[in-house]
């Protein structure tokens, strides 16, 4: 360590002339550090000190220095702390005497010890607590302890610093003795409720190099003042309570808070003057806990709402208070039965009463809350001027035919648990209105009537239904007039006006009248009357009441037809053709043919559908000359009717010649003259209507046929012209047969002509197909054949 030694020589004024040598060193120098060379400074020989006695007398209880006899240097034996040696003195000197014997000499030495900054400032208390009222005003001062620094001079405390605070600062004042004093100054009002304790740090800083500092914790406790009133968390509390709650039941617990402390935060609860005495008789308030309980009877019918004004007051010197309002809604308990009163009612109304019509006035009474309701096509409308009165009105159209009577059950039910109710029944009868037309089960009737019925026969019963009542359902039946062929329906049919039974007034003949179509009306007796009608289709059902009539081959009644054929006739040749007519319906008039008797069954065959008789083989010499054939024509009726014809065939050796140049010749009048009258008399009743129909149809649909040539003569002189659907030409022996063939063939749409045969009195009847040949062969079908008859 480098140090500076200052040598001061002072001349004493005394006679002995003593001198003082002064040195100056810094404190805390290390051991062995040389303070000064005494031999040099005192003018002594360095080598001479070794032989002399040298003593160092230090005026202190501790030896800090010593002298090296060899070198004469004064050095440090023990570290010196200026603060321990001189305490609080600003200057510090260590005095010592150096005594050298032989000869005796005494030297006075003063060693000045200079301060270094080896001590940091500190406070005697490192924690300082202050109580400051929150009502203190800004600018108010609070003394703080001073810091202590044993160093002196510039190394001692130079200033103080305070940690950052928005409420406090410090001011430093210096006393007359130079001592610095620190004051804590309030710069902003305190609020204990905002911050109850302020922790500050005071720092003392010296002026040494390096700078040293010391700190103290300043705890400022803010003392409460009663500056906060009690506060409820809500201004208004709403509570729902059921009536008849037991006494002592807790309604709620009020909790007011006061930010102050101590007595300033202790709260007392009470009702204010705004709370009615009636409410205070029902509810009790604990002043200490704030518990609100029931102490009286709560009755919904007596009071539905309670309102309590409550205050919370603290116990401060000047008490502050806060207020709130408690609203208790009383919930109705189901302790009262509702009642229904029927004030006005219509028990009988027309079924066509308009929607919205009032049926009854209903009153409801209940100390509790009650709600009436109904079902069915009625509703309750609440009266606007009378809240507990309702109008029972029709909500939808009524129909007596669907529901003739309503039992309207009015139910009033409250909303309690369990719910209580009352009910009343109103019976409403609906009067009938003629609003339904008579109805038939079907819109169209098909009635089958067999021909040959007896007059007055019941053929059907047509009953309509009317769902109305009394005269509105009494029905009368009519036949709507309609004429057919100048004949009124009322002349053919009759209907019972009361029950709708339909009768036939005449006997019907299928061959004349086949069907009728007319309308029947059913009309009620209401006002105005309503009606409906139905279509009736009468179908005359054919009976098998006409037996077949054989028209070919023609024969007198009961007579036998005689025919002659060559014995040389080939196999399969047409011998004869039986034609029968039946005027019944198609089903009944379907005719089949069969042999009833035959001389030789192997010789002839009979087609059961067209009546053709053909040879099955050629004649032999063994075959009898005369053959007897009995043919029966049977219809398809049930039971079947039939007719028979007997044909006597005689075989001859001579063939009938034919000419290929046959031409159409006029029919001779004299042949037809006697036959016409006979045929009209015999067949008129059966065929008259048929012939009229055939002729009318022929005129409409047929054209005049062109003349046609006959086929060339065949081997047996039998003139034959084939047709795919009609039988071959037939040899005729007389005029009657020709006419019967004419009638039969015209039914099948054929052109029939008579041609002369040279050298004979017989004729050939040819059946020729029309270009548009008809297939209908029924007795009622009209022929489309146009016949030209010329009389010679």
CA distance 111 to 96: 8
CA distance 358 to 378: 10
Neighbours of 692 (CB within 10 A): 11
Q: Name the pLDDT band for 323 (thresholds 50, 70, 90).
A: very high
Which one is predicted more confidently, 762 or 580? 580
pLDDT of residue 557: 61
User: Buried (b) or exposed (e) across 576-611, using 16+ Cβ within 10 A?
Assistant: bbbbbbbbbbeebbbbbbeeeebeeeebbbbeeeeb
pLDDT of residue 743: 42
Across 128-132, 224-228, 633-637, the highest mean pLDDT is recorded for 128-132
pLDDT of residue 41: 78
| Nearest one of 634, 603, 635, 607 to 619, comparing CA atoms | 603
SS3 content of the chain, % helix, strand, coil (to 5): 10, 40, 50
Q: Name the pLDDT band for 244 (thresholds 50, 70, 90).
A: confident
Which one is predicted more confidently, 255 or 777? 255
| Nearest one of 535, 533, 519, 455 to 482, comparing CA atoms | 519
Q: Pseudo-torsion of CA 523, 526, 527, 528, nearest 10°?
A: -30
Q: Name the pLDDT band for 731 (thresholds 50, 70, 90).
A: very low
Token pair listed for 454: 């007896």
Which residue's entry shows tokens 């062969």?
777
CA distance 740 to 634: 19
Q: Which residues contact 31 (CB under 8 A, 6 or more apart)?
A: 76, 77, 78, 79
Whether the pLDDT of residue 358 is over 70: the answer is yes
pLDDT of residue 510: 86
Q: Is the bond preceding residue 639 a cis peptide, omega within 30 degrees? A: yes
Q: Name the pLDDT band for 707 (thresholds 50, 70, 90).
A: very low
pLDDT of residue 57: 73
CA distance 689 to 18: 203
Does the reported pTM lie above 0.75? no
Which residue's entry shows tokens 């047996």?
716
CA distance 345 to 392: 9
Q: Are strands 642-652 and 561-566 parallel, antiparallel or unpaired?
A: parallel
Phi, psi of 763 (to 5 degrees): -130, 155
CATH T-level topology, domain 444-541: Immunoglobulin-like (2.60.40)
Whether the pLDDT of residue 549 is over 90: the answer is no
Which residue's entry shows tokens 């005049």?
704
Whether the pLDDT of residue 54 is over 60: the answer is yes
Mean pLDDT, the chain, rounded, equals: 77
What's the length of the chain?
792
CA distance 566 to 655: 6
pLDDT of residue 10: 32
Angstrom CA distances, 571 to 595, 618, 656, 771, stand at: 19, 5, 18, 31
pLDDT of residue 14: 33
pLDDT of residue 308: 95
| Nearest one of 196, 190, 229, 223 to 315, comparing CA atoms | 229
CATH of domain 231-331: 2.60.40.60
pLDDT of residue 487: 73
Are residues 80 and 92 in contact, defined by beta-carbon separation less than 8 angstroms? Answer: no
Are residues 123 and 214 in contact, defined by beta-carbon separation less than 8 angstroms? Answer: yes
Q: Are strands 389-394 and 378-382 parallel, antiparallel or unpaired?
A: antiparallel
pLDDT tens sequence across 648-692: 888 887 644 433 333 333 333 333 444 445 555 656 656 667 777
pLDDT of residue 679: 53
CATH of domain 549-652: 2.60.40.60
Whether the pLDDT of residue 110 is over 80: the answer is yes
Are residues 567 and 652 in contact, defined by beta-carbon separation less than 8 angstroms? Answer: yes
pLDDT tens sequence across 480-527: 877 665 678 888 899 999 999 999 999 998 888 888 999 999 999 888
| Nearest one of 76, 66, 68, 95 to 27, comparing CA atoms | 76
| Nearest one of 199, 185, 190, 188 to 135, comparing CA atoms | 190
pLDDT of residue 496: 92
Helices (H), 32-81: 38-42
Task: Decide if domain 343-418 falls under CATH 2.60.40.60.
Answer: yes
| Nearest one of 732, 736, 738, 750 to 787, comparing CA atoms | 750
pLDDT (mean) for 710-726: 33
pLDDT of residue 60: 65
Q: Name the pLDDT band for 260 (thresholds 50, 70, 90).
A: confident
760: Cα within 13 Å, side-chain hemisphere: 17
Neighbours of 335 (CB within 10 A): 15
pLDDT tens sequence across 391-435: 888 888 888 888 888 888 888 887 767 778 888 888 888 888 888
Q: Do domains 21-112 and 343-418 have the same CATH topology?
A: yes
What is the distance of C-alpha 399 from the center of its chain? Answer: 33
User: Buried (b) or exposed (e) across 37-76, using 16+ Cβ within 10 A?
Assistant: bbbebbebebeebeeeebebebeeeeebbbbbbebbbbbb
Whether the pLDDT of residue 762 is over 60: the answer is no
pLDDT tens sequence across 4-17: 333 333 333 333 33
Whether the pLDDT of residue 624 is over 90: the answer is no
Whether the pLDDT of residue 43 is over 80: the answer is no
Across 8-12, 133-137, 367-371, the highest mean pLDDT is recorded for 133-137
Helices and strands: H and E segment counts in the chain: 6, 54
The end-to-end CA distance of the chain, in Å, is 195
Are residues 722 and 766 in contact, defined by beta-carbon separation less than 8 angstroms? Answer: no
pLDDT (mean) for 616-632: 87
% residues pLDDT > 70 (the chain): 78
Angstrom CA distances, 376 to 362, 393, 398, 500, stand at: 17, 11, 10, 39
pLDDT of residue 432: 84
DSSP symbol at 439 = B
Taking every pair of C-alpha atoms in the chain, what is the biggest distance, in angstroms?
236
Q: Give domain limits for the chain.
A: 21-112, 122-223, 231-331, 343-418, 444-541, 549-652
pLDDT tens sequence across 141-184: 998 888 888 888 888 888 899 999 999 999 988 877 777 889 99
The helix (run of H) or strand (run of E) holding residue 181 is strand 180-186
Which one is predicted more confidently, 637 or 744? 637
CATH T-level topology, domain 21-112: Immunoglobulin-like (2.60.40)
Angstrom CA distances, 591 to 399, 560, 585, 634, stand at: 63, 21, 12, 5
Neighbours of 88 (CB within 10 A): 9
CA distance 61 to 55: 16
Whether the pLDDT of residue 726 is over 60: the answer is no
Question: Of the ranges 128-132, 164-168, 358-362, which one carries the lowest mean pLDDT score?
Answer: 358-362
Whether the pLDDT of residue 634 is over 80: the answer is yes
- CATH of region 122-223, choose from 3.40.228.10, 3.10.20.90, 2.60.40.60, 3.40.50.2300: 2.60.40.60
Strands (DSSP E) found in 635-712: 642-652
pLDDT of residue 600: 84
Angstrom CA distances, 593 to 409, 581, 612, 616, 736, stand at: 84, 12, 9, 17, 22
Q: Name the pLDDT band for 187 (thresholds 50, 70, 90).
A: very high
Are residues 216 and 200 in contact, defined by beta-carbon separation less than 8 angstroms? Answer: no
């Amino acid at each position: 360590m480098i140090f500076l030694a200052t040598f001061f020589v002072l001349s004493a004024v005394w006679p002995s002339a003593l001198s003082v040598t002064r040195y100056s060193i810094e404190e805390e120098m290390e051991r062995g550090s040389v303070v000064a060379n005494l031999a040099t400074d005192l003018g002594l020989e360095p080598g001479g000190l070794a032989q002399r006695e040298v003593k160092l007398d230090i005026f202190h209880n501790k030896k800090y220095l010593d002298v090296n006899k060899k070198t004469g240097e004064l050095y440090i034996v023990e570290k010196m702390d200026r603060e321990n040696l001189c305490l609080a003195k600003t200057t510090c000197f260590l005095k010592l005497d150096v005594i050298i014997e032989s000869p005796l000499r005494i030297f006075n030495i003063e060693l000045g010890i200079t301060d270094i900054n080896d001590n940091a400032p500190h406070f005697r208390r490192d924690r300082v607590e202050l109580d400051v009222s929150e009502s203190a005003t800004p600018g108010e001062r609070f003394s703080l302890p001073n810091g202590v620094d044993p160093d002196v001079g510039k190394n001692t405390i130079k200033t103080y610093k305070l940690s950052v605070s928005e409420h406090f600062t410090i001011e430093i004042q210096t006393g007359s003795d130079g001592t610095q004093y620190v004051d804590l100054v309030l710069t902003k009002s305190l609020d204990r409720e905002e911050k109850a304790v302020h922790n500050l740090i005071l720092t003392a800083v010296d002026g040494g190099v390096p700078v040293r500092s010391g700190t103290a914790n300043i705890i400022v406790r803010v003392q409460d003042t009663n500056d906060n009133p009690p506060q409820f968390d809500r201004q208004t509390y709403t509570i729902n309570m059921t009536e008849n709650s037991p006494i002592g039941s807790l309604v709620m617990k009020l909790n007011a808070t006061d930010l102050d402390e101590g007595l300033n935060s202790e709260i007392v609860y009470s009702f204010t003057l705004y709370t009615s005495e009636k409410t205070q008789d029902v509810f009790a308030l604990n002043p200490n806990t704030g518990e609100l309980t029931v102490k009286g009877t709560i009755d919904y019918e007596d009071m539905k709402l309670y309102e309590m004004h409550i205050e919370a007051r603290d116990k401060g010197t000047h008490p502050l208070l806060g207020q709130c309002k408690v609203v208790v809604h009383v919930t109705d308990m189901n302790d009262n039965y509702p009642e229904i009163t029927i004030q006005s009612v219509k028990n009988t109304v027309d079924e066509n009463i308009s929607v919205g019509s009032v049926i009854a006035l209903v009153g409801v009474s209940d100390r509790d809350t009650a709600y009436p309701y109904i079902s069915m096509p009625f509703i309750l409308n609440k009266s606007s001027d009378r809240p507990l009165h309702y109008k029972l009105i029709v909500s939808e159209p009524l129909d007596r035919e669907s529901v003739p009577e309503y039992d309207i059950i009015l139910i009033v039910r409250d909303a309690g648990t369990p719910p209580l109710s009352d009910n009343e029944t109103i019976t409403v009868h609906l009067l009938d209105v003629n609003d339904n037309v008579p109805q038939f089960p079907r819109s169209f009737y098909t009635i089958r009537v067999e021909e040959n019925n007896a007059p007055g026969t019941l053929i059907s019963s047509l009953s309509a239904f009317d769902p109305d009542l009394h005269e509105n359902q009494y029905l009368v039946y009519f036949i709507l007039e309609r004429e057919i062929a100048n004949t009124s329906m009322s002349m053919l049919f009759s209907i019972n006006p009361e029950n709708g039974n339909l009768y036939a007034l005449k006997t019907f003949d299928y061959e004349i009248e086949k069907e009728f179509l007319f309308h029947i009306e059913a009309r009620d007796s209401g006002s105005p009357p309503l009606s409906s009608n139905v279509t009736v289709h009468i179908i005359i059902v054919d009976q098998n009441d006409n037996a077949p009539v054989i028209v070919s081959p023609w024969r007198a009644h009961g007579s036998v037809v005689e025919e002659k054929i060559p014995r040389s006739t080939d196999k399969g040749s047409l011998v004869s053709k039986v034609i029968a007519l039946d005027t019944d319906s198609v089903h009944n008039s379907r005719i089949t043919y069969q042999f009833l008797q035959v001389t030789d069954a192997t010789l002839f065959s009979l087609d059961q559908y067209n009546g053709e008789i053909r040879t099955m083989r050629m004649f032999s010499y063994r075959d009898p000359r005369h053959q007897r054939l009995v043919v029966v024509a049977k219809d398809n009726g049930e039971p079947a009717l039939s007719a028979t014809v007997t044909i006597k065939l005689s075989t001859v050796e001579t063939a009938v010649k034919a000419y290929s140049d046959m031409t159409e010749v006029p029919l001779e009048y004299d042949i037809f003259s006697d036959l016409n009258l006979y045929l009209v008399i015999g067949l008129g009743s059966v065929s008259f209507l048929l012939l009229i129909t055939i002729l009318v149809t022929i005129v409409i649909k047929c054209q005049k046929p062109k003349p046609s040539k006959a086929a060339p003569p065949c081997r047996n002189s039998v003139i034959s012209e084939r047709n795919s659907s009609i039988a071959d030409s037939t040899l005729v022996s007389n005029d009657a047969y020709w006419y019967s063939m004419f009638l039969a063939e015209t039914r099948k749409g054929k052109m029939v002509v008579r041609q002369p045969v040279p050298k004979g009195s017989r004729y050939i009847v040819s059946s020729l197909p029309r270009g548009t040949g008809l297939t209908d062969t029924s007795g009622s079908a009209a022929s489309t054949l146009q016949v030209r008859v010329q009389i010679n």
